[in-house]
Amino acid sequence: MSKLILTRHGQSTWNAENRFTGWVDVELSEKGKEEARKSGELLNKLNIRINISYTSYLKRAIETLTIILKSLSLPMKFNTAWELNERHYGSLTGLNKEETKKKIGEEQFKKYRRSWDVAPPIMTKDSNYLENFSPLNSGIPENKIPLSESLKNTYERVIPLYDFEIKKNLENGNNILISAHGNSLRALCKYLFNISDTKINELEIPTGNPLVIEFDNKLDIQKYFYLDESRAKKIIFNE
C-alpha cells in the first residue's frame, strides 16, 4: 500500500499581506517556517518512510520541503517540477485581495479566484513582477509559460506530471511527498477525488497541514486524512 502526502507550503510573506502571489517567488514568513516545522513533526509521528519527494520551482514550496526533510532526518534530495508551480494570477499578481474585491465586485472576484475555467486578465510582458519570478523558470519551454491561468489551465499541466511520473512511482510501492501550492494541489485533488467542475470551488487546502492519501495496489484510494485534525478541511469525494 503506497501513500501520497500532499503539503501546501507554509504561509508566505505575501500570504500574510493578503496579496495574489502566483508565480512571484516570495519567501516563507516566520509563521510559514513554523508551519513547515510542524508538518515535519506530524509526519515524523506518522512513522512512514518517504521514498520520493517533489516540489515546484518556487522557493516557498522548496523551503517548506527542505524543512520537512530535515525534520525527518532525510537527505536533501528531491525533484523539482515547474508543473507544480502555483497558478499564474496574471494581472492580479501583487494586488491586495480585499482591495481588489472592492474594486471589481464580489461576483467577478469569485470568478477570478475560485471558478474552474475563468482566468484573470493576462500579465503584460513588461510587468515589474516578472523580475521576481523564480530563476528556475528559465528551464521551462517558452511556449508553455503562461501570462495568466484558470484552475483548469493549472490542472492541464499538473495532471500529466502525475499520470506519467508520480503515478508510476506510486505503482512501484513508493511513498511520495509533494510540497506545492494551494491551486496546484487543488488541481491534483480534483483529479484524485473526482471532484466536479462546479464543486471544486469549495475545496480549501490549508497551509502546513499534510494530507495523507493511502492507495491499494490498484491505486484506488482506501483512506485519506489530514495530520492536524484541528485544521482539517473537508474533502469533496466522488461528487
**CATH code for position 129:** 3.40.50.1240
Give domain status of residue 238, yes or no: no
Give domain status of residue 237, yes or no: no
Question: The pTM is what?
Answer: 0.95
pLDDT at 229: 79
Active-site residue 86, yes or no?
A: yes
Active-site residue 149, yes or no?
A: no
Residue 125 and residue 152: Cα distance in Å, rounded? Answer: 22
pLDDT at 237: 63
* Catalytic residue, candidates 35, 63, 86, 149: 86
pLDDT, one tens digit per residue, over 145-155 is 999 999 999 99
Give domain status of residue 160, yes or no: yes
Number of structural domains in the chain: 1
* Amino acid making up residue 215: F
Give domain status of residue 145, yes or no: yes
Give domain status of residue 236, yes or no: no
* Catalytic residue, candidates 9, 35, 63, 181: 9
pLDDT, one tens digit per residue, over 167-187 is 999 999 999 999 999 999 999
pLDDT at 239: 47
Q: Which domain holds residue 8?
A: 3-231
Give domain status of residue 119, yes or no: yes
C-alpha cell, 180: 506545492
Torsion angle, alpha carbons of 220, 68, 145, 18, to 10: 110
Cα 73 to Cα 36, 70, 229, distances in angstroms: 14, 5, 24
Residue 116 and residue 135: Cα distance in Å, rounded? Answer: 29
Low-confidence ranges of the chain (pLDDT < 50): 239
